[in-house]
Structure 1
């Protein structure tokens, strides 16, 4: 079984992805892992990627796409199947992935989309606060400090502030929408309600994947 998993930051994609990999025995593929492995193994694409990274430049799409194709061509993928996480990030990458899978004669079986209301994600992602003295991390809603704590004793990182979180989500929504539309046309997308208990989310995923097998 060969899958993509999609979802906005904070939707629980990482948690559910780990559960899918464990349950179905798939190879978990993330772009970060692929880059590190390609560079460590000094593959053609890995060396090319390193040349950009060493100069502090962004790795071009054609190199990223090449690294993905390299990884998908390896023997363990053919034997076990994959869960691709964090790629494609743009419609151009989705089209490149289609071409790579076609060239490798690999079929994409489904796209699991963890669907969570962006407003609830702003609340979830912007609630993190850090104690100034100890550096201990809390969450205003899900893991608050002791009752009656003094807000002046805590701070928020810039990345955790609501306006920053909302901007990040807006970028992800605008990039993700055409990718989802692309795969919906192929009848590959299953939307999973992410605003529920972790185990309930996974139960819905299991049900969806059992229909693909």
Structure 2
């Protein structure tokens, strides 16, 4: 059976970089929620039109629309054949419950959740080092707090489900990936 992975971690924890390594070594489909949204908006799908209404009004897109977009993507042939690696979804416990229910209905489940844990000070340093104009220390601190509020309940959720693997993301890339491979090779 194909593996279904979830990547969790605060901004700057290295999820995207590790995802690039994983797809080179394992037959899995990397799915970024941002990519799903962009595709639905660009293709003017019915879900994209609904999402655009919320976004244009400056509101968050409701879980039901996000869940439907993700379910649609998980239903495609490449994911059915190779499994998935979700990055940026689920963002809250309600989305995690939806995902579990959706997978169970399709005789599947989350194989592992990789949580990249990095100290706040190192995250700040990494984010400031990216050199984005909007990455001021105040904006970064706020982004980290907002993301912690969303991420920590998910860490607990997947810990309770028995699929959480905490990885020290504060080390050299190769050391972090060594731990990622150890988890994936044992699934």
Structure 2 residue 56 is matched with structure 1 residue 81: no
Aligned to 2:107: 105
1:102-154: CA deviations, max 9, x gaps? Answer: 2232221000111111122112222455xxxxxxxxxxxxxxxxxxxxxxxxx
* Structure 1 residue 55: Cα displacement: 4.8
> Alignment partner of 1:191: what SS?
strand
1:1-213 correspondence to structure 2 within 5 Å: 1-127=3-129, 157=133, 159-212=134-187
Q: Is the 8 A contact 1:90 1:175 kept in 2?
A: yes
Which has the larger Rg?
A: 1
Point out where structure 2 has 5 or more consecutive residues left out of the alignment: none
Q: Determine the C-alpha separation between the residues in 2 that align with 1:38 and 1:105.
A: 26
* Structure 1 residue 53: Cα displacement: 3.6
Tell me the TM-score normalised to structure 2 length.
Answer: 0.90
Q: Aligned-pair RMSD on alpha carbons?
A: 1.9
Q: After the TM superposition, which of the residue ranges 52-61 and 92-101 deviates more from structure 2?
A: 52-61
Q: Is the 8 A contact 1:115 1:193 kept in 2?
A: yes
Point out where structure 1 has 5 or more consecutive residues left out of the alignment: 130-155
> Alignment partner of 2:109: what SS?
coil
Which one has more relative contact order, counting CA pairs under 8 Å at least 6 apart? 2
Q: 1:186 to 1:44 in 2, by over 3 A?
A: same
Q: Determine the C-alpha separation between the residues in 1 that align with 2:20 and 2:130.
A: 23
Q: Is the 8 A contact 1:5 1:84 kept in 2?
A: yes
Q: How many residues align?
A: 185
Tell me the TM-score normalised to structure 1 length.
Answer: 0.79
> Alignment partner of 2:17: what SS?
helix
> Alignment partner of 1:100: what SS?
helix
